């Protein structure tokens, strides 16, 4: 049965509205809102037995209660439990506190015990009158929001557990991947919300307890079922069958290219061509390391669509990247008679109107642009193929809007999504299981390996000298900064100041500045000067992270590299090493005065030095930061995996992948209930 859903109303109390803000709209949502941690209120500890640093619950008599003003105003309460004394300190208190903690009162208090010269202390412990029953289970502490007290949330969770439909959705006779997972869902949830005092806290915290195993199995199965359902639903849709024509545009472009395709590019091109020839929408993710040659594969796919009489759109997340694609594609395609249109947000009205007319008439066979491509007034005559570069930077609504540009009734365009962030196997198997994945796992010949060095900011002068040497050899240099202008919050060098410093240190050298707040025309002019080789050094923010292709640039300096993510560092490094010259990447790092880099920052910098392999970089990034960064907007605001860990639960993922098709084929009703229980409406994101 569907779970009743709570919707906001004017008569709701603040805590009820807070529950909705947390996403707790159904009884099952409350039941699945598991504790962050637990407090042990099941026993009383004698002060003499309490170890420093432990959180303990005591029963004691108040022997002193006074307000002092030094070193700041505070309430000091001394208690004695017959074995020792303890001073409780409150910096925030009310008259009611003083009344409840009056001398002679017997209280039950719970807090972290600290030792010291003056004896045992507790800072801001919770307390109530002594006596009454002790808790029979550990007390859950939940993640919450402002206006939602733990006590209210605990009562709401208990109500949700009592009312939620937790009947079995697993097919009978299903073997569990781990015998410890064979708890019922209700027993597992009841236990995790109120574990018994004898449970191993380590097993709860590392989620290895049998109750956790049961929940992970259920969650991973729900994800696999929703992915497979989306894939099957898409296979029922119709798309134009785009057959490759021998000797036509595809073959002409292939012959005209000034370079040969790698074996990986040819293999991936065949996979895409095979998809395009089918009358169902292609939904393929093309992944390849920085510089692997994804753009030419997309161009060849576009030629198949255009040969068949359909239009193709290529959408990129930034104007710089879209400009790079446009320049490259015009150079390849216009000699073949293919008209390429151009759409960006900052276009002049007259130019935009001309482009819109070309697109609507069908005269423009290929359309390249940014988000401007999906604006409502953009009308395609016959869109057959949509290509999205750096797909993780676009939201679900934007991808759906591009699909909706097809005018043919009851049909969908083919979709090719590209990413330069290689996706580790476990992520591809889980979050991208609804997509067909093609991998360009080979770099074009002639790409020089990039030497990466980690250098302290104290040696900045040496780096500037190195730049001078590169410039004398006729090479060009990138210098990337994390900020545009001064920030009081972060003590980081900024692009504007660095541009001024380098201009002074390198007399006679043109030093350019590029950042996202510059007018489009100015950005375009700077990039043209750098691409043409006139500009020696380009100081930039991360707007050059993807797509910028200047083969003569051989040195990349990344300032405050410790502040960047690993995949972002790898993307930036990929801007050099694109020509025949030996290339290098210098990771300048700064540390707090007398401090050290964090362990995470050290791991990132170490990974950059040890490998140039994007797949290895991605694997390490997943270890360091988890899956969130890889998924981007595909999550549609909420991660689909809250409990399972792809690093440690791979065997459970394999089990779920194997069970999902069997369950959809043989137990469709149970599969539908299982998806609804775990995901509600969150599986909608898969349609993009």
pLDDT one-digit tens code per residue, 480-529: 988 655 554 454 558 888 899 999 999 989 999 988 778 878 888 888 89
Q: Are residues 474 and 346 in the same domain?
A: no
If one compares 585 and 376, the residue with the highest pLDDT of the two is 585
pLDDT one-digit tens code per residue, 150-208: 889 999 999 999 999 999 999 988 888 877 657 889 999 999 999 988 888 888 888 88
Q: Are residues 375 and 522 in the same domain?
A: no
Distance CA 386, CA 311 (A): 9
Last residue of a domain, one of 440, 474, 508: 440
Q: Are residues 311 and 414 in the same domain?
A: yes
Q: Are residues 394 and 473 in the same domain?
A: no
Banded pLDDT at 640 (limits 50, 70, 90): low
Banded pLDDT at 75 (limits 50, 70, 90): very high
* pLDDT for res 304: 95
Last residue of a domain, one of 78, 105, 129: 129
pLDDT one-digit tens code per residue, 93-109: 988 999 999 999 999 99
Q: Are residues 332 and 318 in the same domain?
A: yes
* pLDDT for res 373: 84
Cα 477–483–484 angle (5° rounding)? 85
8 in a structural domain? yes
Banded pLDDT at 425 (limits 50, 70, 90): confident
* pLDDT for res 599: 83
Q: Are residues 31 and 80 in the same domain?
A: no
Distance CA 218, CA 644 (A): 10
pLDDT one-digit tens code per residue, 22-56: 888 899 999 999 998 888 888 999 999 988 888 89
E-only strand ranges, 391-498: 414-419, 436-440, 450-456, 476-480
User: What tokens appear for 485 in the block?
Assistant: 């202008």
- Using N-to-C axis directions, what is the helix angle for 210-235 and 185-193, rounded to 10°? 130
253 in a structural domain? yes
User: What tokens appear for 673 in the block?
Assistant: 């209930």
* pLDDT for res 477: 93
For 75-96, letters b (16+ CB in 10 Å) and e give: bebbbebeebebbbbbeebeee
> Are 402 and 369 within 8 A, CB to CB?
no
Q: Are residues 256 and 298 in the same domain?
A: yes
Q: Are residues 385 and 524 in the same domain?
A: no
**CATH number of the domain residue 121 falls in:** 2.40.50.140
User: What tokens appear for 259 in the block?
Assistant: 């370079």
Banded pLDDT at 602 (limits 50, 70, 90): confident
Q: Are residues 342 and 372 in the same domain?
A: yes
Over residues 562-568, mean pLDDT: 84
* pLDDT for res 628: 53
**CATH number of the domain residue 476 falls in:** 3.40.50.300
Neighbours of 309 (CB within 10 A): 12
pLDDT one-digit tens code per residue, 525-549: 888 899 888 999 999 887 665 556 7
Q: Are residues 398 and 412 in the same domain?
A: yes
* pLDDT for res 444: 79
Q: Which single residue is written with the structure tokens 């809102």?
A: 33
621 in a structural domain? no
22 in a structural domain? yes
572 in a structural domain? yes
What is the C-alpha R_g of the chain?
A: 31
687 in a structural domain? no
> Are 569 and 561 within 8 A, CB to CB?
yes
Distance CA 645, CA 642 (A): 8
Q: Are residues 302 and 401 in the same domain?
A: yes
Over residues 268-281, mean pLDDT: 95
Distance CA 154, CA 160 (A): 10
- Of the ranges 3-17, 277-291, 298-312, which one carries the lowest mean pLDDT score? 3-17
pTM of the model: 0.74
The residues, any chain, with a CB within 8 Å of residue 152's CB and separated by 6 or more, are: 15
Residue 683 has pLDDT above 60, yes or no: no
231 in a structural domain? no
Q: Are residues 23 and 48 in the same domain?
A: no
Domain count, the chain: 4
Residue 629 has pLDDT above 60, yes or no: no
Residue 67 structural domain = 43-129
Last residue of a domain, one of 412, 440, 468: 440
User: What tokens appear for 495 in the block?
Assistant: 């692009």
667 in a structural domain? no
* pLDDT for res 376: 82
Residue 30: strand, helix, or coil: helix
pLDDT one-digit tens code per residue, 404-419: 777 667 788 999 999 8
User: What tokens appear for 200 in the block?
Assistant: 């191993």
pLDDT one-digit tens code per residue, 452-486: 999 988 898 999 998 988 899 999 999 998 865 55
């Amino acid at each position: 049965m569907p779970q009743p859903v709570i919707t906001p109303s004017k008569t709701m109390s603040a805590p009820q509205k807070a529950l909705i803000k947390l996403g707790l709209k159904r009884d099952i949502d409350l039941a699945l809102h598991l504790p962050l941690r637990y407090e042990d209120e099941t026993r009383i500890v004698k002060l003499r037995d309490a170890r420093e640093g432990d959180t303990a619950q005591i029963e004691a008599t108040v022997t002193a209660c006074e307000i002092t003003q030094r070193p700041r105003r505070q309430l000091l309460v001394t208690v004695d439990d017959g074995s020792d004394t303890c001073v409780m300190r409150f910096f925030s208190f009310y008259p009611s506190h003083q009344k409840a903690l009056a001398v002679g009162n017997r209280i039950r208090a719970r807090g972290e015990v600290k030792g010291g010269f003056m004896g045992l202390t507790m800072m801001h412990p919770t307390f109530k009158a002594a006596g009454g029953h002790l808790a029979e289970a550990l007390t859950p502490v939940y993640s919450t929001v402002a206006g939602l007290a733990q006590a209210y949330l605990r009562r709401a969770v208990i109500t949700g557990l009592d009312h939620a439909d937790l009947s079995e959705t697993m097919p009978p006779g299903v073997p569990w991947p781990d015998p410890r997972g064979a708890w019922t869902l209700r027993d597992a949830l009841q236990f995790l919300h109120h574990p018994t005092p004898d449970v191993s806290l380590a097993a709860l915290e590392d989620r290895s307890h049998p109750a956790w195993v049961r929940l992970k199995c259920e969650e991973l199965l729900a994800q696999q079922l929703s992915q497979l359902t989306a894939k099957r639903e898409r296979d029922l849709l119709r798309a134009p069958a785009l057959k490759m024509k021998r000797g036509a545009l595809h073959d002409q472009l292939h012959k005209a290219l000034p370079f040969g395709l790698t074996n990986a590019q040819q293999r991936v091109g065949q996979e895409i061509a095979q998809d395009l020839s089918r009358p169902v929408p292609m939904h393929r993710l093309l992944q390849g390391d920085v510089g692997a040659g994804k753009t030419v594969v997309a161009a060849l796919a576009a030629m198949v669509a255009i040969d068949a009489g359909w239009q193709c759109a290529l959408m990129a997340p930034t104007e710089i990247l879209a400009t790079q694609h446009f320049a490259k594609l015009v150079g390849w395609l216009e000699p073949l008679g293919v008209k390429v249109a151009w759409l960006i947000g900052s276009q002049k009205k007259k130019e935009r109107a001309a482009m819109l007319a070309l697109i609507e008439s069908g005269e423009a066979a290929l359309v390249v642009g940014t988000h401007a491509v999906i604006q409502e007034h953009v009308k395609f005559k016959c869109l057959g193929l949509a290509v999205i570069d750096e797909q993780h930077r676009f939201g679900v609504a934007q991808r759906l809007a591009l699909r909706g540009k097809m005018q043919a009734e009851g049909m969908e365009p083919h979709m090719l999504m590209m990413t330069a962030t290689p996706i580790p196997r476990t992520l591809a198997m889980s979050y991208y299981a609804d997509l067909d994945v093609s991998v360009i796992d080979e770099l074009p010949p002639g790409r020089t390996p990039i030497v990466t060095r980690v250098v302290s900011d104290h040696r900045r002068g040496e780096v500037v000298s190195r730049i001078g040497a590169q410039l004398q050899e006729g090479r060009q240099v990138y210098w990337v900064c994390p900020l545009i202008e001064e920030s009081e919050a972060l003590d980081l060098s900024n692009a504007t100041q660095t541009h001024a410093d380098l201009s002074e240190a390198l007399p006679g050298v043109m030093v350019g500045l590029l950042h996202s707040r510059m007018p489009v025309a100015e950005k375009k002019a700077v990039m043209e000067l750098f691409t043409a080789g006139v500009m020696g050094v380009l100081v930039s923010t991360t707007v050059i992270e993807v797509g910028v292709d200047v083969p003569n640039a051989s040195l990349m300096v990344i300032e405050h590299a410790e502040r960047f993510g690993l995949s972002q560092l790898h993307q930036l490094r990929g801007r050099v090493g694109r020509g025949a010259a030996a290339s290098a990447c210098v990771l300048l790092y700064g540390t707090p005065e007398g401090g050290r880099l964090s362990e995470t920052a050290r791991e990132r910098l170490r990974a950059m030095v040890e490998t140039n392999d994007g797949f290895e970089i991605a694997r390490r990034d997943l270890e360091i930061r988890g899956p969130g960064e890889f998924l981007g907007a595909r999550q549609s605001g909420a991660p689909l995996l809250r409990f399972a860990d792809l690093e440690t639960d791979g065997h459970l993922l394999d089990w779920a992948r194997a069970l999902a098709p069997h369950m959809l084929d043989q137990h469709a009703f149970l599969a539908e209930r299982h998806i609804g229980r775990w995901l509600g409406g969150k599986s909608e994101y898969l349609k993009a």
